[in-house]
Amino acid sequence: MTVQFPSPPSDCRQIESLLPPFVDGEATPRVAALVEGHLTRCAACRRFAQEQRDVRALLTSRRASLCGPAPAGLESRVRHLAGVRDGGAWWGGLSPLAAAAAVVLALSGAFYWGTGQSSVLLAAQLTLDHIKCFMIDGDDHSHPMTADVAQVRLHESHGLDVQLPTPAEGGAARLVGVRSCLYGEGWVAHVLYRVQGEAVSMFVMPGHDASAVDVAAFGRHAEVRTQDGVTYVIVAPARLTGVAAAVGLE
């Protein structure tokens, strides 16, 4: 089907709807030209398109290893990850292959937890949760909150009791939201920040002891660290520095 516009679309939401066939190489020449023209002008959409290319390429590279029988409990896990929002699945903006890659990678922590690479897999899975929560679910960066308010919201809305570090007053970090995400061993507190305007996540797991690792994936840097019996996973754009200090961990 050919998508036509009376004039070239400048709105990012219009372009987002055209990205799946563009990334999959199935867009018509007219649609491909419209998308390419917009991407030359819009850095945010270029990053979004690259995210889709990355997950598509990763799933393609692992295609042979994904042919075995599914483990018990897979259906319920996928149903949870595919929970609908605003009448549609959270991956509505992704191509089918990219959406499948996101689910496969998010499930990897449950499949391989307990191996010697558990911290690496944890970091990779939570990096995907970071991408999903910011790029698909969004954040309310116009209404920042304090660490105390965030702790109350995590308790009242998600049943999670965690102690959050306090970002430096007047510093580069603003706390803009809290969520709960499901990983290989249960629920994890997901704290959303804007640091120098960039999307940053901190996942907090009390009573969890993970080995320290640094992982680069999807243009992000994920750091796993354990302090005073609490494991933190910080996910930020690879180009951003001083993130741990900005959110109050140093």
d(CA 200, CA 176): 10
27: which 2 tokens? 């867009």
* Boundaries of every domain in the chain: 12-63+72-100, 113-246
- Could you give the CA distance from residue 165 to residue 245 in angstroms, rounded to a whole number? 10
Residues lower than pLDDT 70 in the chain? 1-10, 13, 17, 58-118, 136-137, 184-185
CB 85 within 8 A of CB 78: no
The pLDDT of residue 157 is 86
Q: 55-84 b/e with 16+ CB inside 10 Å = b?
A: bbebbeeeeeeeeeeeeeeeeebeeebeee
Q: pTM for this structure?
A: 0.58
Give pLDDT, residue 215: 82
pLDDT digits (tens, 9 = 90+) for 185-237: 678 899 999 999 899 999 999 888 888 888 887 778 899 999 888 999 999 98
Supply the DSSP string of 10-43, one letter for each residue: --HHHHHHHHHHHHTT-S-HHHHHHHHHHHHH-H
So what's the pLDDT on residue 203? 95
Instruction: Give the pLDDT score at 234.
Output: 95
97-104: Cβ within 8 A, 24+ apart: 97/24, 97/55, 97/56, 97/59, 97/60, 98/20, 98/23, 98/52, 98/55, 98/56, 98/59, 100/59, 101/55, 101/56, 101/58, 101/59, 102/55, 102/128, 102/131, 102/132, 103/78, 104/59, 104/62, 104/66
Report CA-CA distances (Å) from 94 to 85, 90, 135, 141, 246.
Answer: 14, 9, 11, 23, 32
| Of 45, 47, 53, the residue nearest 15 (C-alpha) | 45
Measure the N-to-C terminal CA separation of the chain; round to a whole number of Å. Answer: 53
With a CB cutoff of 8 Å and minimum separation 6, the contacts of 46 are: 39
